[in-house]
Structure 1
Amino acid sequence: MSKEMQTNDIVLGKDYSSAKRWIAFFSIALIYFFYCFNFMVGTFVKPTMIYSPAEGGFGFTLQQTEEIFAVMSFGTIPGTFIFGSIAARIGKKKTLILVALLIALTTFFPMLAPTSVLLWKAARFTCGVVLGGVFGTAMPLVADMFPTKYRGKLAATLTALYSLAMIFGGKLYGALGDANWKLLMYTAIIPPIIGAVMTFIFVPDDSAIAKEQYAKGKESGEKISYLSMYKGKYLWIGLGTILLSGANFTAYSAFSNNATTYLVTGIGMTAATAGAIYSMQGTGQLVGYIIWGLISDKFGRKVPAIGMALSAVAVFIYTQLGGNDVVAFYMVSALLGFMVGYSGPWGAYYTELFPEKYRALSSGMSFNGGRIISTFAVPAIAGVASGAMGMTAIFYIAIGVFVAGTVVWFFLPETLNKNKKEKITTSK
């Protein structure tokens, strides 16, 4: 392929130098990294939330803290639709800048009255709405700026930033501890503003293209909708993917949201040790995304279900460890992170499960639709912590949900062999 052919599929910044293009990517990646990090704020602030006022905390119950961060997850669903519509009209660059600034603003709101449960809930819900606008603007912007041969790798790089954010957050929490919770919050507030400024300066503008495409779509009257997508067998496939994603979010959140709190308040570890153990989960997950992705490309999209089943085993082992098993906690945390990487190939899998014309809709709804389930399930699960088993009961429920998700996955169709057959048929 000639150099000219390689650049013909670049939509934005065709006259950009290679260096300028990578700076633009870094600008977007900076916002995406702290978008990922924002989901972890609850994990690090939660110990302070449940401490009594005498201990320097807010005096919230565990269930209240789960509700606060569950509504944030739920907010991403309407946010996906809202900011997708905005991007279609004004462009992805301007929308991403708006989203980044609103992430900073909505994350700052609870700082005004940190002991107010109501303010925390309202702020985290609105923050969730804003966070819902990141994926649908950042990913397409990167695709528009780079040739086809780089797009898959760069999309995978952005996805892997979640694991890097987990590692970064664990190290930061370990260094700052509970006493510096405000500083932890500001690390989620200031960087998105920097990312917004960099995006404004370095990322090429797509507003003219967006307006032209929107006008053409309006003239043609062609509608690709969720109602038309969920018909016949695709209704059941769609429900299956939402249940699978719901099981993933519920089990993962029930465990991860309480991991550092369990280690500090239940096992008696220091914040530094708990944060380091949590970081190992992120390291394992980073590797897991890559390995399970390679496995799914070679052996099938359903094979990573093994990882979901083994996640249940890893959480069970976690509950059997004690205060003297620090090394084992590190190992199991890394192993669990690796297994949880089973969701890495879902972007491809969820897209392949539906007809090609619905690709703009299928993966997003299949993935984020699961947040509807976790929004209600995670706070309900937190309520069992008040019983005799305490937080261990939450982990046992997470184990059951991981197993249930594996069963749902078993009944969904395989897509890899189907796609291979389609390619062979096309070539003939």
Structure 2
Amino acid sequence: MTAAAPLRRADQLRRGEQVAIYCVMLIASLGYNFSFILVDYIRPFLRNDGVMTFAQTAQLYTVQALGVIIGSFAIPPLVARLGSKNVLIGSSLLLGLCTFANEVVTGFAPWAATRFIVGIVLPGCYIASVTMLANLFPPRARGRLLSVNMAMFSVSLMVFGALGSAIGGEWRWLVRVAAILPLVVAVATLVFLPDDRRFQVYANDDQSGADNRARGSWGEMFASARIRLTAACLVIAGLNFSAYQFYSGFITTYLKDVRGFSNELTGLFVTVDGIGTLVGTVIWGIIADRYGRRANLWGFVLAAVAIGALLAAPTIVPLLLAIELCYAIGLSCTNCWAAYFAELFPVRLRSMGTSLFHGGHIVSAFAPILVTVVAAQAPLAFGMALAPLSFLIAAAIWFGLPETLRRARGYRGFDPETP
């Protein structure tokens, strides 16, 4: 029997290889985030064009979230078996094709069907790319690298806002952009990314050497030793998604219907969200790598305070823009979760750990519908005010989780093998 080929060490990757891997991951994150926020941004346009009712536009998120929940638990075993590269290629192709379908179908039912499939494959893009980056880059830089990777959410918001302001009601152009990017990712992944199954990877220290051939299971994640960590990650991720949907999912509707802002001014607020989360990414990435992953929980507190301030503030546009900027900066504190959720679990369970971010949709799936129900009986702002409460509860739970960065002040000798 032929002996297995020796594994290459991740710390022996050449600089050019590292740059190529990272650039592809940035494009993958951009494509993922375009698809994720598409429905939120075009929600009022779908309603105004008579394509759907207000309630149906909210239900689209719920349908997509249900797909994400399925994908969050189905994708990690595929990553473990097929490798991050192959899963990223397949997920990106399906994501692009289903998004293209949104341009040509009309009515709630076909949109719901395509967004359900999009929801299933979205975790594939996220889990595969984050697992590869965590495996091939050391923890001393992991927080910043993965945080910037997640900052493509900010870039997506800025591009969406700029395009939305430029094209007005021609929302199908946004669908086209969201469809093309994943197809570019599939080609770039095929050409430039290595197979991380053939590497000795980084664990939670700065030298690679962990064997990446062991295959973990969901049984381990929900065993008595790890169920508290698993459940806590699911809950804080769910509260984060819920808070985002309570507020950001309806901010364009709120600005247009309640504040009476134009399409152009509404697009400017979305652009400010992108700028704020991009600035916040740099800030929180540095904090996570210097002071530890738990220090970022203060971003939730900032976001909660900012939401309350915006909903109560008078209609003074510069003031509202400044408050929205503070909210966006606070919101980006979760970018360190790409590293944190991987570090909380052994290498063999990393794909499962990173999937918990999307598993949080179990908690948040019905958040938009809850807002529409509340808004039917009270002002829309009342339903959106559920966001600060969600952020503050999540911050409290995050505070109780262990620190994984060894040089952080709050580190207490955490070992992912014996949590």
Question: How much has 1:135 moved relative to structure 2?
Answer: 1.8
Partner of 1:385: 375
Decide whether the 8 Å contact of 1:72 with 1:125 is kept in 2: yes
Aligned residue for 2:37? 40
Quote the Cα distance in structure 2 between the aligned partners of 1:243 and 1:397. 16
**2:398 maps to which residue?**
409
Q: Give CA deviations for 1:112-134 in whole Å, capped at 9, x if unaligned.
A: 332x1111111111011111101
Aligned positions, number: 393
Q: Hey, which of these two has a bigger chunk of helix by percent?
A: 1
Given the alignment of the two structures, is residue 335 of structure 1 paired with residue 326 of structure 2, yes or no?
Answer: yes
Gapped regions of structure 1 (runs ≥ 5)? 1-7, 211-219, 424-428
Of residues 147-156 and 128-137 in structure 1, the stretch that sits farther from structure 2 once superposed is 147-156
Counterpart CA distance in 1 for 2:288 and 2:139 is: 21
Q: Specify the alignment match of 2:116 in structure 1.
A: 125
Matched, 1:193 2:183: yes
Q: Which residue of 2 aligns with 1:69?
A: 61
1:107 equivalent to 2:107? Answer no
Query: Contact between 1:350 and 1:362, CA under 8 Å: does it hold in 2?
Result: no
Quote the Cα distance in structure 2 between the aligned partners of 1:402 and 1:141: 29
TM-score by structure 1 length?
0.80
Q: Is the 8 A contact 1:91 1:205 kept in 2?
A: no
Point out where structure 2 has 5 or more consecutive residues left out of the alignment: 1-7, 200-212, 415-419
Larger radius of gyration: 1
Instruction: Confirm or deny: 8 A CA contact 1:72 1:127 kept in the other structure.
Output: yes
* Residue of structure 2 aligned with 1:266, choices 235, 258, 281: 258
Instruction: Show CA shifts across 1:312-336 (max 9, x none).
Output: 211111112344x111121111100
Aligned to 1:228: 220
Q: In the aligned structure 1, how far is the partner of 2:105 from the partner of 2:160?
A: 24
In the alignment, structure 1 residue 60 sits paired with structure 2 residue 57: no
Q: State the AA in 1 paired with 2:221.
A: M
Alpha carbons 2:168, 2:263 under 8 Å: kept: yes
Q: How far apart, CA to CA, are the structure 2 residues paired with 1:96 and 1:412?
A: 30
Q: Confirm whether residue 347 of structure 1 aligns to residue 320 of structure 2.
A: no
Q: Which sits farther off after the overlay, 261-270 or 360-369?
A: 360-369
Structure 2 CA distance for partners of 1:358 and 1:22, relative to 1, 3 Å: closer
In the alignment, which residue of structure 2 is the partner of 1:181? 171
Where does residue 125 of structure 2 map in the other structure? 134
Deviations 1:93-128 (A, max 9, x none): 3332222221111112233332x1111111111011
Per-residue Cα deviation, 1:344-401 (whole angstroms, up to 9, x for no partner):
33334434545x3664155324322211110123322332111231x11221112222
1:160 aligns with one of 129, 145, 151: 151
Measured against aligned partners, the alpha-carbon deviations of 1:145-194 in whole angstroms (never above 9, x if no partner) come to 7788876654333212111111111111111122x011111111122223
* Distance (Å, rounded) in 1 between the aligned partners of 2:283 and 2:352: 24
The percentage of counterpart residues that share the same residue type is 28
Aligned-residue Cα RMSD (Å) equals: 3.2
**Structure 2 vs 1, CA of residues 118 and 11 (structure 1 numbering), >3 Å: closer, same or farther?**
farther
SS of the counterpart of 1:317?
Answer: helix
> Which whole-Å deviations, capped at 9, do the CAs of 1:208-227 have from their partners, x for residues lacking one?
949xxxxxxxxx9x763333
Residue by residue over 1:203-244, the C-alpha shift from the partner in whole angstroms, topping out at 9 and shown as x without a partner, is 15539949xxxxxxxxx9x76333333344632333222221
- Deviation readout 1:272-326 (Å, 9 max, x if unpaired): 1111111112211222233234334444543333321231211111112344x11
- Does the residue aligned with 2:53 lie in a helix, a strand or coil? coil
